[in-house]
Amino acid sequence: MLNATRLQLKHHFSYLQQFMVSPRTVGTLAPSSQWLCQAMLHQIEWTQALTVAELGAADGVLTKRILGRMRADAQLDAYEIQTSFVHKLQQIDDGRLRVMAYSAERLERDYDVIFSCLPLLSIPLRIRVRILQQAQQRLRANNGTLVLFQYSHLSEKLLSRYFHWQRRLEVRNFPPALVYVCTPR
């Protein structure tokens, strides 16, 4: 029990360290809760999802849960720019996972589903716009879905330029998060 608590504290502390070093790209003080992950994953029809992307995969909290839901023949591209998080993602042993150690401004291919954990408000506007444009374009071909969370509703105006969306509040997260389910305009 004590070792489990120690590991959890160490995990949370690593997020805090990354946030202190780079608040514009990490954007959170703690990993996503199991309830936030579930709220995001429940939005997808997994039998249809063959190509999946995760933007801002961090250390793989959501990544591992996505892999747990995906079909055996599906593929997940996890985009992450923080070097320490990239190393943690590369330790996940699953042949369906490709770790993309560069910005989500240039997505690799068309996707059925894109999950985003990016702190949109912390990202400079021009980059935020490019990321949302890329997501819109890469989902259009497959009539795909973007599922993202934010800690504030302040990105909704920009999000509305590129997507139709619905949102729900997940209070069992620190801090509470808004989950958006989006389809390209």
Strand intervals (E) in the chain: 51-55, 75-79, 97-100, 113-116, 145-150, 163-170, 177-184
Q: Rounded to 5, what percent of the chain is helix, strand, coil?
A: 40, 20, 35
Instruction: Calculate what percentage of the chain has a pLDDT beyond 90.
Output: 83
Q: What is the pLDDT of residue 29?
A: 59
Nearest to 71 by CA among 115, 113, 134, 104: 113
Task: Give the number of other Cβ atoms within 10 Å of residue 134's Cβ.
Answer: 19
Q: What burial class does residue 52 get, using C-beta atoms within 10 Å of its C-beta: 0-12 exposed, 13-18 middle, 19+ buried?
A: buried
Total domain count, the chain: 1
Cα 53 to Cα 62: distance, rounded to the nearest angstrom: 11
pLDDT at 8 over 80: no
Place of tokens 């890469």: 138
State pLDDT tens for residues 44-67.
Answer: 999 999 999 999 999 999 999 999
Residue 54 backbone dihedrals phi, psi, to 5 degrees: -125, 120
* Domain interval for residue 110: 2-184
Lowest mean pLDDT among 29-38, 85-94, 102-111, 145-154: 29-38
Q: Locate 44 and state its tokens.
A: 């997808």
Provide the whole-model pTM.
Answer: 0.86
Across the range 83-110, mean pLDDT stands at 97
The separation between the first and the last C-alpha atoms of the chain, rounded to the nearest angstrom, is: 49
Cα 72 to Cα 154: distance, rounded to the nearest angstrom: 37
- Give the CATH number for residue 52: 3.40.50.150
